[in-house]
Amino acid sequence: MADGPTSMLRPLVLVVEDEPALATMLRYNLEKQGYRVEEAADGQEALTRITETQPDLVLLDWMLPVISGIEVCRQIRRRPNTRELPIIMVTARTEDQDAVRGLNTGADDYITKPFNMEALFARIRALLRRTSTVPTKGRLDFHDITLDLSAHRVQRNGRAVHLGPTEFRLLEFFMQHPRRVFSREEVLDAVWGPDIHVEPRTVDVHIRRLRKSINGAGELDVVRTVRAAGYALDTEPV
C-alpha cells in the first residue's frame, strides 16, 4: 500500500478485458493497491462505461470482441470530453509495430502480456502523475523551448522565436500534449476549431512555417512527421 494512491478520492481505473480470469485478477490487485475499479468486457461496453463512470485511467486490452481496443482508443480520442483520458493499451502481441500503432492511435502507454503486476502499477502511477499536472495557463516547457502563454512569447535555447498566431496556437497545442501523435483532422479540430472547414493540407503548411521558425540553424527538428498518421512534438524518432 505504501506506493499506492493516498488521496481520499481514489483514482478510478476502468479495466477493459474480455478474459474473465484476467479481469478478476486485475480488479483484485488494483483494489489492493487502493484504486477503485470498473470493468468492461468488450469495446462497446467500454465506451458506455467511460461515459457513465468517468474513469481516471483506462486499461485497454487490444484484442476485444465487438469493437477492437484500437478502435475504442480512437473513439476516446475523438470525443472532446474524453480526449485527455489516460489510456494504457494491453497487448498480447510482441511486435513493436503494434505498440507503435497503439501509441499513434492515442494510447499514452502500453504493456505487453504477460506482464508483471508491479510493472503495471508503476506505469499507472507514472501516467496518472503525468496527466494530472498539465498546466492550462502560465508557461509550457518542452526540451529547450519555452512558451509563455500570458506574454504570448516563445523562446528556444534563450533566443526569441517569432510565430504567427496560427503557429503559436499550433505550438501551444503540441506543447500541451508532448510526444502524442495527432492526425491533421485532430489538429484542425483542436487549433482551428471543429466548425471551421479547412483543407487538412493547410495543417502541413502551418507545420512547415512552425518548423522554419522554431528550428534554428543546427538545432534539432522537434516536429516529427509520422507517415500516414500526422504530427507530434518529439525529440526522438520512434
Q: Which is nearer to Ca ion, 63 or 127 (CB)?
A: 63
CB of 188 to Ca ion, least distance (A): 34
Q: Is 2 exposed, middle or buried (0-12, 13-18, 19+ CB in 10 A)?
A: exposed
Q: Which is nearer to Ca ion, 39 or 61 (CB)?
A: 61
Number of residues that bind Ca ion (CB under 5 A): 3
Q: Which is nearer to Ca ion, 90 or 222 (CB)?
A: 90
Q: Given the rule CB under 5 A, which of 2-10, 14-22, 130-138, 185-193 is the region that contacts Ca ion? A: 14-22
188's grid cell = 484542425
Residue number with the smallest Cβ distance to Ca ion: 63
Q: Is 63 in the site for Ca ion (CB under 5 A)?
A: yes
Q: Is 12 in the site for Ca ion (CB under 5 A)?
A: no
CB of 65 to Ca ion, least distance (A): 8
Q: Which is nearer to Ca ion, 61 or 186 (CB)?
A: 61
Q: Which is nearer to Ca ion, 68 or 131 (CB)?
A: 68
Q: Given the rule CB under 5 A, which of 1-9, 61-69, 152-160, 166-174 is the region that contacts Ca ion? A: 61-69
132's grid cell = 494530472
Q: Which is nearer to Ca ion, 72 or 147 (CB)?
A: 72
CB of 61 to Ca ion, least distance (A): 4
Q: What sign has the CA pseudo-torsion 209, 215, 221, 222? A: negative
Main-chain phi, psi angles of 99, to 5 degrees:
-60, -45
Q: Is 61 in the site for Ca ion (CB under 5 A)?
A: yes
Are β-strands 12-16 and 36-40 bridged in parallel, bridged antiparallel, or unpaired? parallel
CB atoms within 10 A of CB 198: 13
Q: Map residues 73-112 to x or -, x wherever contact with Ca ion holds by CB under 5 A.
A: ----------------------------------------
Q: Which is nearer to Ca ion, 12 or 66 (CB)?
A: 66
Q: Are 219 and 157 in contact (CB under 8 A)?
A: yes
Contacts of 73 (CB under 8 A, 6+ apart): 60, 87, 89, 102, 105, 106, 107
- Residues within window 16-35 making contact with Ca ion, judged by CB under 5 A: 18
Nearest 5 degrees, angle CA 39-CA 41-CA 42? 125
Q: Are 94 and 112 in contact (CB under 8 A)?
A: yes
How far apart (Å, rounded) are the C-alpha atoms in residues 85 and 235? 23
CB of 88 to Ca ion, least distance (A): 14
* Residues in touch with Ca ion (CB under 5 A): 18, 61, 63
